[in-house]
Every structure is written in structure tokens, then in C-alpha cells.
A and B are shown apart, each in its own frame.
Chain A
Amino acid sequence: MYTTNASRGLPRHRSRYPAERYTRWALRALTAALVLATLWLVVAFHLRGQWMFALLFLVLGASLAIVFGKRQLMSHRYIFPALAGMGVFVIFPLLYTIGISFSNYSSSNLLGEERVRAQFLDRTYQAEGQAFDFRLYREGGQMRLYLEAPEAGREGTRHLVSEPLAEAEGGQPLAVRPSEAAPAGEALGLREVIARRDALEALTLVTPDGTELRMSGLRRFAPMLSRYQENADGSLTDRRDGTTLTPDRETGFFVTDDGERLTPGWPVAVGLDNYTRIFTDPDIRGPFLQIFVWTFVFAGLTVAFTLAVGFVLASLLQWEQLRGKAVYRTLLILPYAVPAFISILIFKGMFNQHYGEINLILEHLFGISPDWFTDPALARTMLLIVNTWLGYPYMLLLCMGLIQSIPRDLYEASAVDGGGPLTNMVRITLPLILKPLTPLLIAAFAFNFNNFVLIALLTGGKPDILGASTPAGTTDLLVSYTYRIAFQDAGQDFGLAAAIATLIFLLVVGLSLLNLRLSKVKV
């Protein structure tokens, strides 16, 4: 352990070697460039109104400038990159998640209020007047629309042909004029119309009498009007029936006079709503508690089973008189060496109802064919079997390492007293390795508590719990439940997912503090 001049705050001499001086200047320039790049991000995020991200990069840029600017913080320069990585990709997402848990951020409340308002103002409705079927004609490089009224028009023209579509660049209205014949060239099929849908939807056609036509369906153009009108107080008026929509900034929705909410809304802070929903809404509380209990059972049983298998195997393998231990050891840690996402999928195929080898064997031997994926109890059993297969090698390796450190003379003494192998295992080996093993068991518990990959790849949480208002399955762990609420199916409820994630964070903090205390980490 030594301290440098720099960290004592002593001045550094100008280097005698030009190469070193140039390197120093290059490093300073690099730091400055990085700081400037971060500042650019800060400004850009700020201009977009995303203050959370602006703040994140402001903190990042400022700490970068301070750590690399002050010579007293020489040592901190070495740890800064790693800390910045953890800060941006672990700690910031964690805080952001906790923040989301107090909001109603979801797929129905996704965009900001201004964007929602703009969406409402973009809505149109079909006004009174003649609608036309249309076809798109291509002649050379030019495209024209050919409009045809389905029934003989009361007020006149039946057929209209537009100017070439290229003239409508930049949102100009496009003139259409009466014509008896279809334009020259070939009519395009529906598939090509769909391919140009965005361009067509942006078109406004103007007939000779001044009516504006817009696309109202894949085959139709009709006179369309904006549905909503913005009022000075921020409310919207529906032009069709005159109802008023007032923005409710408590709930984040536009509401009509009789209290009906219109989607989409925008995210607002809702306080503890998400948490109260977890504990009071029966459609959420029921599945949540069931999944909560199963998560503990799953993690506990996994640790118990993997430890039991790993410990017994380790005790066998440390028997000096047994030959071929190296071969056994290599074969036994194979499940650890094969990437988990491959072995989990292998089991998914093997447990398959129809062609899976496991059911074929069971059918052959006992004449039974269990429904591994549709029966909740069997699906849970399957998860535990697969996870024991995946997880015991780690315990085996840990136990083998720890058994090595037990003094041999304890076993000799036991042999003198006439102790058999079973006595040795239960009375000597187990008690001696259990203490150093405990923190690792807690870590393994925490890992399996959050074993998302297994659930996602093997069962996807299915079979589903009946009567749940959020996607919830009987084999879901809390993490996969959170993932499904946030990313699957309709109604992605980020707020609720974040609230459950926050609860898991608290549990994990508890576990890791316990772990830290038990393992007596020396820093």
C-alpha cells in the first residue's frame, strides 16, 4: 500500500520526456471531449423535456470533470469508469424504477400530455357529403388517384382524377378534376396501396367545388373534418356532438362531463396507488400472494435439493480409495458447462406432451403420460427437477472445495472410534462446512428467487391463474410476473410492475445485508 505524490496533493513536475507530455495532453483532450459529449446529451435531453435523463448525464459529466480535473482524486480516476458503469446501468435504472412505481405509466398512459393532446387533435370524422372509392394508377414514374362515386351522385360528378401525387410533396392539397375515363397506365393492387398507405393518409384532395377529401379506408376517400377543437382553457370540444373534454391532471386522462375517461392518457404521479392496488385489489392481491409464496418455496426447495445432491456427491468424490474421480467430476459438472438457455430448452422439448422422451419412457414403463405443462403441480415439479439438474454442480464444486479444507485427522479419530462413513458425513463434514457455506446459500437463494431465465424459457409462467386481472401464472416467480405485467399482453402496466419490482428490491437488500454480515467481508 503506497500513496503517491498526487494523492497527497503535491505538485507534479513537468515531465522531461516529450512523449509523456504528449500523452498527458492527449488524455486531457480526451477527458474534455467526453465531458463535452455528456454536456451535449444534457442539453439535448433538457430541450426534449426529459429532465430525469438530463440530470443523469449532468451528474455523470460533472463527476467526470471533477475526478479527472482534480489531482487529489488520482485514485478515484481508476475506479471512476466502473462506478460510472454501475451508476448508469444499475443504480439509475433502480431509482428510475422506484420513481415509476409512484406513477400510472402504462401503455394507456405512455406519452406526455402535449403529445396526447396532439393525437386527439389529429382525429377526424367523416362529414356529410359524397364519399368515393379510389384506385391508384401508375403511368411511367407518375401516380394518379382515380376516384369513383359508388352511387350516382346527387350533386354531380361521378368520376374524378387527381394531379400526379408527386405534386403533393410537403403537405400541399392536391387538386382533383372531373374526368369520364380512368387515367392511363395500370391500376395497382391492394398490396401496393397498403405499401403506400402512409403517403396516402397524408394526402388532402380538393374537388373543384372546394370540398376536402381524405382517406377514410383502404379503398375510400371521403370528406373528413378534424373531430376536436382546442379551447383557450386547454379543454377540447367534440365538433360532432359538442361535448367538452377537460384534462384531468390528477388521473392523467381527458374526461367528458359525465366523468368518462378517454384513452390514451398521459403519465402522472399517483402516489401510493400501485402499492395499495397490490394489497387491496382482490384480483391482484390473490395472484400476487400465490406467486409470492411460490417464489419462496421454489427458491428454498431449489437450494435444499441442489445442496443435498451436491453434498452427497462431494462426499462420495472425496473418498480417497475411489478411482476415476477426475472423470466423474468432469461428467458431473457438465450441466454447469452447457449454456443454461440451451439446456432449459432441451428440457422443454424432453418434457413435451406429444414427442418428449420423458413421457415416452414413462408411457412405456408405467403407462402414464403426465401433463407437464398444463397441470400446475406437475409444472412446478418439472421446474424443480430441471433447476436441480442445472444447479447442483455449483453446490458440488463449493462442497468439494470446503471439504478439502477439513483436517484429515478428524476422520482418523472417527475411524479409531469406529465411526462409519454415514457418521462421518453427518457428524463431521456437514457441521464443518455449513458455516462457511451459509452466505453462499443465501446468495444462491437470492439468485433462484430471481431466476427469470428458467421460467421465461421453460414454462413462461403458464398455466395461468384463473380470474387474475394481470397476466399471472401458477409457475410465475415474482420477477417473471413483473416482466409479464410490464412487457407482455395488452395493458402493459409499467407502474404496477415497478411497484412489485420495488418490493423485490427491498427483499433483495435484506438478503444481501444478511449475506454481508454472515460472510464478514473484509475490505
Chain B
Amino acid sequence: MAMVQPRSIRARKLGAHLALLGFVSLVVFPLLLVISISFREGNFATGSLIPERFSLEHWALAFGIPWERPDGSVVQPPFPVLLWLWNSIKVAVVSALMILALSTTSAYAFARMRFSGKAPILKGMLIFQMFPAVLSLVALYALFDRLGQLVPWLGINTHGALILASLGAVALHIWTIKGYFESIDGSLEEAAVVDGASTWQAFYHILLPLSVPILMVVFILAFIMSIMEYPMASVLLLDEDKLTLAVGAQQYLAEHNQRWGDFAAAAVLSGLPITLVFLLCQRWIVGGLTSGGVKG
């Protein structure tokens, strides 16, 4: 707008910018601080945001490379961060794919078919989805403990158990995909069925290719949720080399042996990729998160 603006508006804009900048700096401060700390020498270094005594020690340790100090002593990496990250990614990819498969097929039925019990099942799912897994951890532990005695790769301390346990959380994704399916006109599939396609063929060859965007969103959402999952992993996984990042990372700040510097490097190393994925996909993720909840 090329209008001449009254002075009060300009002052207000300046005020708004200042307020926003102030708030943004408060929000970003912890994140910048951690990046700075990861480059500082020693585990308890303090100082300005730009490190005065620059050191790559923590980063080397985070990548699992032993670090030789100037005085000749060699520091071994305290925790297998890369292994934890790999565990997390492995579990998250597999469980996200399985969640995607389960929720897509059921969303298809809910969006396109008429069958008995549809409305109560959908509503029931919404209610059950609100129960946090923390509350039934005793039962989940018992279930996998017993199951593991019969099927070893589904027992306590296996990634199989963790992946399987995550399959309970599909309701939100079903609602999201169902909403998207309903926004696609069904006449294409009806035409295919009239021409002799089975329901499965109509779903697989016609509806699925049209819905790739929402499938991506749900995959990424399920992936991120699985990476961040803490309570179940903390109970189901025991050995250090089995842990996921969410459970392992807290060991850096254990009660009596706090490794603040090492933690900072590990946190940036493992948190950055996830943050970037989120920011790159934010438009779709945010849409999925908010609309799925609002419209239902």
C-alpha cells in the first residue's frame, strides 16, 4: 500500500516488531545456547553464546570417535548415540509404514462403505484414542513378557514389541485419511466398479494414487510420533544397545553424572534432522494435525 500512514500506525508496527523480536529471542535462546555449548570445551563450560574456547570434543564423542585431550588422556564416547538414533529410525520407519497400511485400509472402508456398526466404531475409536499408554503400561509389560516366552522376537527388550505396541495408536490417522478420502469424488471408483473392478482394485489402483499427499503426511506424522515415544520404550527396552534415542538421551543428565556438553552435541546431532523434517513438511503436518482434530 502506497498510502501515507499515520504516525500512530508506524509506531504500533515498530512496537509489534519489537515485541515479536523479543519473544522470538526468548524462544530461540535455549536452542542457540545448546548449539553453543556443544562446541565449548569441557562439560560445564559457561560463557557467551559464541564459545571462547572452541572444541570439537563433544561432537567427536557424539559420533562415537574417542577424543584425545591436549594432556594426552583419551576420552571414550559415553553412550552409543548413533546406535540409538539408528534404533529410533528403524523402529519409527517400520511402525509408521505399518500404521499407514492399517489406517489407510480402514479409512477407505469408513469413507466409502456402508456397514453395520460404523458410527459407534468411529466414535469409540475417538474415545479410546484419548487414553494414554502410560496408564496401561503394567498390562502392556505383562502382555509382551508372556508373549516373549512363546515368540522370542516379540518379548521384552525387543524392537518388535515396541513396533507392535505402537499399532494401537491409529485412530487419529484414520480420521485424517478418512477426511481426505471424503474430499475426493467417488465417481471414478464407482465407474471402475461398474466396469468390473473389485473394491480392492478400485481402492488400490484409483483412490490410492490420488491420495499420495495425505499418505506422506500421515507417514511423517506417525514417524515423528514414534521417534518421540517415551513411556512405552522406557518400559519395554532394557539394554543400552537396544534403547531408542528418546529413552537413551536422558542418561546424559542422570542425577549424579551430568554431561551437559556431551548432551548438547548429541542433542543437536539427533534433534536437527527431526526438526528439519518437521519444518520442511510443516505446511502439511500442521494441516493434518489441526484439521484432523477440528473437522473430525
Enumerate chain A interface residues (CB-CB to B < 8 A): 1-4, 6-7, 41, 44-45, 48, 50, 53, 73-76, 78-79, 81-83, 85-86, 88-94, 96-97, 100, 313, 316, 319, 321-322, 324, 328, 330-343, 345-350, 352, 354-355, 357, 360, 389, 394, 397-398, 401, 421, 436, 439-440, 443, 446, 450, 452-453, 456-457, 479-480, 482-483, 486-487, 494, 497-498, 501, 504-505, 508-509, 511-513, 515-516, 519, 521-523
Bound-state Cα–Cα, A342 to B170, Å: 25
- Which of B102, B235, B291 counts the most A-chain CB atoms under 10 A from its CB? B102
A346 B267 Cβ-Cβ under 8 A: yes
Q: Which residues of B contact A360 (CB under 8 A)?
A: 46
Q: Indicate if the CB atoms of B113 and A75 lie closer than 8 Å.
A: yes
Interface residues of B in 170-222 (CB under 8 A from A): 170-171, 174, 186, 189-190, 193, 198-199
* Residues of B1-35 contacting chain A, CB below 8 A: 1, 5, 9, 12-13, 16-17, 19-20, 23-24, 27-28, 30-31, 33-34
Q: Contacts A96-B142, A516-B126 hold; do A79 and B105 have CB atoms under 8 A apart?
A: yes
- What residue of chain B has the Cβ atom nearest to residue A45's Cβ? B146
Distance of A331 Cα from B114 Cα, bound (Å):
45
Q: Contact between B286 and A92 (Cβ–Cβ < 8 Å)?
A: no
B266, closest chain A residue (CB):
A342
Look across to chain B and name the residue whose beta carbon is closest to the beta carbon of A521.
B296
Q: Which of B34, B143, B165, B198 contacts A53 (CB 8 A)?
A: B143
Interface residue B122 (Cβ < 8 Å from any Cβ of A):
yes
Confirm or deny: B249 has a beta carbon within 8 angstroms of a beta carbon on chain A: yes
Closest to B105 in A: A78
Chain A residues with CB below 8 A from B291, complex form: 401
Given contacts A352-B258, A440-B293, A456-B234, contact A74 B126 (CB under 8 A): no
> B136 within 8 Å of A by Cβ?
yes
A195 to chain B, nearest CB (A): 19
B270 at the interface (CB under 8 A from A): yes
* Nearest CB on A from B154, distance (A): 10
Contacting residues, chain B, for A440 (C-beta < 8 A): 293-294
In the bound complex, residues from chain A placing their C-beta under 8 Å from that of B168 are 85-86, 88-90
In the bound complex, do residue A450 and residue B134 qualify as a contact, i.e. CB atoms below 8 Å apart? yes
Is the pair A79, B167 in contact by a Cβ cutoff of 8 Å? no
Contact A91 B253 (CB under 8 A): no
Determine if B131 and A90 form an interchain contact, defined as CB atoms under 8 angstroms apart.
yes
Q: Which of B13, B109, B274 interacts with A321 by CB under 8 Å?
A: B13
Interface of A is mostly: helix
Out of A4, A100, A336, A338, name the residue touching B139 (CB < 8 Å). A100
Contact of A7 with B278 in the complex, beta carbons under 8 Å? no
In the assembled complex, the CB of A223 is this many whole angstroms from the nearest CB of chain B, namely 37
Please, could you name 30 A-B residue pairs with CB atoms under 8 Å apart, sorted by A? A1-B112, A2-B189, A2-B190, A4-B199, A53-B146, A79-B105, A83-B106, A85-B167, A85-B170, A96-B142, A97-B136, A316-B20, A328-B20, A328-B24, A337-B279, A337-B282, A338-B31, A340-B228, A341-B246, A342-B270, A343-B30, A345-B267, A347-B30, A357-B33, A397-B290, A486-B138, A487-B235, A515-B130, A516-B123, A523-B118
Interface centre among B28, B147, B267 (most CB of A within 10 A): B267
Chain A: minimal CB distance from B155 (Å): 13
A325 vs B189: C-alpha distance when bound (angstroms): 42
Residues from chain A with a CB closer than 8 A to the CB of B246 are 339, 341
Contacts of B46 in A (CB 8 A): 355, 357, 360
Check A78 against B108 for contact (C-beta < 8 Å).
yes
Q: Which of A339, A346, A509 contacts B227 (CB under 8 A)?
A: A339
Q: Are A339 and B136 in contact (CB under 8 A)?
A: no
Q: Inside 8 A of B227's CB, which chain A residues have their CB?
A: 339
CA distance A74 to B34 in the complex (A): 54
Q: Does B75 contact A (CB under 8 A)?
A: no
Task: Decide if A483 touches B231 in the complex (CB within 8 Å).
Answer: yes
User: A40–B198 Cα gap in the complex (Å)?
Assistant: 33
Would you list the 7 A-B pairs with minimal beta carbon distance, nearest first? A89-B168, A93-B136, A78-B109, A93-B139, A85-B167, A96-B139, A337-B278
Q: Contact at B270–A1, with CB atoms within 8 Å?
A: no
| In the complex, chain B residues whose CB is within 8 Å of the CB of A50 | 146
In whole angstroms, what is the CA distance A421 to B129 when docked? 40
> Using Cβ atoms and an 8 Å threshold, which residues of chain A touch B110?
79
Q: Judging by beta carbons under 8 Å apart, are A521 and B258 in contact?
A: no
